[in-house]
Chain A
Amino acid sequence: MYIIVVGGGQVGYYLAKALLDEGHELLVLEKDAARTAFICSDLGSVCVRGDGCEMTTLAEAGAGRADMFIAVTGEDEDNLVSCQAAKHKFNVPRTVARINNPKNETIFKKMGIDVTISSTNIIMESIEEEMPTHPLTHLLDIQEQGLEIVEIKIPPHSPAIGKTVKELPLPAGNTLSLIIRSQQKPFVPDKDTILEAEDQIIAITTPESEEALGTTLRGS
């Protein structure tokens, strides 16, 4: 595959290294001369000095025959513009953008960028998993359908303890998919399952209703 990477910072550099190891044909576009020289001396002549938002630079880089275009600069606006240029001007089949401000995810999706990776969100989610007090841990986002899979632990004083699933005021569209209880095999709850303290619950929810789900299962 021929892959163009825009931005030769830490992310771009290590990404280039990994993609080269996998045997891909690769070109990194980097604005800074010193950084370009460093990457070339380390990885061979795979880095060209240039602005990945300039059409002439992209044409020279052979964007027209690229299979994939990955923009990983530290500026969201640069990633958004270069990916759109790649997509609409050079018809690159797959565009991938790094997003620094999580709020920008919507506009990237609306403008047709195929894959967005929010580094801030990924770091936050990893930290959440390590926080015992956090009400709810994000395990997976299913972006196309607006769903997310989360893990919730029932604390000792939760109002949900002793109640059956059907008695719980679950937000619409939320499902409890799996219960992990100590000394037992994980099981799929039905409407008559009674919740216990310290149950670990894997649930399907939405970004809008996750807070209400947390309140139902953990109390406010």
Chain B
Amino acid sequence: MKVVIMGCGRVGGKLAGLLDIEGHNVTILDIDEYSFRRLPPEFGGTALVGNGTDEDALKKAGIEKADAFIALTQGDNRNIMACQIAKHIFNVPRVLCRTYDPLRQELFGSLGLETFSPTTIFAQMLKERLLKAKPKGEKKAK
């Protein structure tokens, strides 16, 4: 599968490495070349300096032939805009969008984007962990 990732932060860099190891064709975009230090040393995909909300940068990254596009920058609006460009201009079959703000995640989810809010997911996960009964056999540390 050909995947274009926008944003080489911790999550972007990690995901790029995981997909690359499994043999997928990965291109990762970031506006700062220094971010690519987060890629694993054995990364065999393409790292490109460019702005993922710019159509020409996306074309350079091979968006026209991509099977999936994932937006993982720190800016919700940037992620949403890049995903809408990927989906509605380049017709990428699968588009995933990170949206920190739960309300924006909900709105753009209802408008047809596949959006994820790490805020909601992580808060939910922590709550479940905290309130879940401890597994049997686990004892309190002395």
Contacts and interface: CB of A to CB of B under 8 A. Distances in A.
Nearest to B53: A77
Given A77-B75, A88-B111, A56 B103 contact: yes
B81 A107 contact: yes
Given A89-B107, A103-B56, A107-B81, A81 B88 contact: no
A104 B54 CA distance: 8
A160 to B, nearest CB: 34
A149 to B, nearest CB: 26
Nearest to A106: B89
Given A76-B53, A111-B84, A81 B103 contact: no
A101 interface: yes
B84 A75 contact: no
B114 interface: no
B117 to A, nearest CB: 13
B77 A107 contact: no
A110 B107 contact: no
B40 to A, nearest CB: 30
B55 A81 contact: no
Contact of A81 (B56, B85, B104): B104
Please classify the interface of chain B as helix (H, G, I), strand (E, B), loop, or mixed, using the class held by over half of its residues. Answer: helix
Given A55-B104, A56-B103, A101-B54, A110 B88 contact: yes
Contact of B88 (A75, A84, A111): A111
**Chain A: number of interface residues, binned into ranges:** 20 to 34
A107 B84 contact: yes
4 interchain residue pairs of minimum CB distance: A77-B77, A77-B81, A55-B103, A81-B77
Interface of B: 53-56, 75-78, 80-81, 84-85, 88-89, 101, 103-104, 107-108, 110-111
27 contacts: A53-B77, A54-B101, A55-B104, A55-B107, A56-B103, A76-B53, A77-B53, A77-B75, A77-B77, A77-B78, A77-B81, A80-B80, A80-B84, A81-B80, A81-B81, A84-B108, A84-B111, A85-B104, A85-B107, A89-B107, A101-B54, A103-B54, A103-B56, A107-B84, A107-B85, A110-B88, A111-B84
Interface of A: 53-56, 75-78, 80-81, 84-85, 88-89, 101, 103-104, 106-107, 110-111
Given A81-B77, A85-B104, 14 more contacts: A54-B101, A55-B103, A55-B107, A77-B77, A78-B77, A80-B77, A80-B84, A84-B107, A84-B108, A84-B111, A89-B107, A103-B55, A107-B81, A107-B89
